[in-house]
Structure 1
Amino acid sequence: MGKYTVEEAILKLKDDDVEIRKDAVKSLDGVTDEAAIDPLIEATTDDNAQVRFKAAQTLGNMGDLAVDKLIAKFNNASGQDKRFLTFALKETYSDKTIDALVSAVDDEDFGVRKTAIRGLGSLQARDKMDDIAKGLEDDDWGVRLSAIYALGDLATPESVALIKKARRAEKDEDFKKSCKKALKKADKLMKLGAKPTVSKAKPMKDIKALEKEDPEEAAREYEIHIKEGAKSQEPYKRAAIIYRKTNRYDDEVRVLNTAIENLSRLNPGKEEWFQKRLDKLTK
């Protein structure tokens, strides 16, 4: 549960106190109420970077519910105001965003170009390979790197050839290492012969680092791993521990039951810790 109701959070997104705005945008994480879409879109231009990022992430998590309004706003935005809208579009993982992302490949803002290109790679927009490849000639190192990773996501002989060509032409050793990583990923995906499953989950090490600063936010991030059916015990354990510490009994029980169900199927034997913990809680 967030600190505020949806209605309260929408009002507090305009508060003069940045800490209240931070709490408000966190409270809207995971909502499916259309009333929150326009206020969250406006929050992507907040003075505070944390508010902007969280608003964009929340909109992205809404997926198709928010995508049409996001595209409309995106098409009329410019400059830095467009950066977090681009990130939100990318995070929806909706094919509807492809044309908007293509239009942003030539944007004047390097942050917009970089995110748009990564988004096209994540969406497996193989028919937009030429647009992605434009990033290889960009003046910004980060945009060029995004193009390499996006081409790795496409995982086709043509995209691999472009990565190899860029690697040969580049002198920077770090860039060459990134090319090697992208090639390894593309090779693995081609051998699987299947479209990769795109995960919205942050790396576990990043979430662990977040726990001390913001345990509620960390729990929400662990929940993404859980929703995606994690095979590892870790996200279930960490979420359960946070819920125990914050006296969220119902959430702890829910996570324990989910862990038992998922792990008994995906990683048999690893559910025992959760069963023992659940038995103690429900005695």
Structure 2
Amino acid sequence: MTCPRCGREQPPGGSGRFCVHCGRVLGGVRWVATTPDAARPSTPAPRRAPYAGPPRYRSIPRWSLWPWAARPEPGAPDGPLAARTPAEPAETLRATAGLLRRLAVTTALLCGVAAAGEALRYVLLLLSRDRALSGTLLGWSDAIVALFGLLAPMAALATGVVFLRWLLVARGIAADASDTRPWRSTRMLLLGCVLPPLTLTVPGATLAEIEHAGSGADPTVRPRPSRPVLAWWAAWVVGVVLGVVTLLQGLADSTQALADGVVLHFWSDVVAVVVALLTVRVTAHLTELLAPVLRERGRSYVVVGGDAATRSSTVVGTA
């Protein structure tokens, strides 16, 4: 504390009320003069802009309020909850085709890597006839073959299940469009797609019948498959036959049989890649035939009449 008379600082252990230097009574409160608030310069408040009407946008906003509405409770006077509207068959077909496309592409990629692993293994077999091979390289080859030899069949199985789902939906839409009834039952169709030798003919024939009925052809005329259907059918038959031969070859245990098994596995993976890609092609072709999506086509024209206030634009040629 500072004495107001002598201006000296008081020691910490001073006498309390009196200055230890001059003896004057020390004040308990120190008064500080400040400028009144009225005299202080204040920041001017921002002026409010005049009302210019509702908000306007140069383009349609992409935000909106959530379309929420109160739903009646079960047993309430308003009645029970509204049931969910079932999806249309065309929407189901397009959604299933989209899922099938993604699975088929994944299967093609996995089978392609598996084929590369089998090719590497066969090259190592050829090199091992007259030289010693690196253990690291052999380990990588075995790991690739084992890993993708497991992932590729799993992806192919999932693709096959979704393909059967798509096939049933497409068959129903084609039957409704042609006002006919499929002569194969659902059970017969599923068994024919799985059990050999029926699987050589039933899937391809079903695709040909779906294409024939969906195109509006005469039901009494024998179907004539298009190129996408024929290409898929041929690849499917080759894949099934090659798969059966590969399984039978795997029962042998000789050295030459093991080498032949590597070659057969390589070609089986290659054919699986082709079948997966052709599956994407044929399902896209038949989905567009049975459940087409209307797309806008045409050109925009600006018709100028007089001044800028009378300008108008029209779009023609939509489909």
Q: Which has the higher helix share?
A: 1
Say yes or no: TM over 0.5.
no
Q: Which has the higher contact order (CA 8 A, sep 6+)?
A: 2
Bigger Rg, structure 1 or 2 = 2
- The TM-score, its normalising length taken from structure 1, stands at 0.24
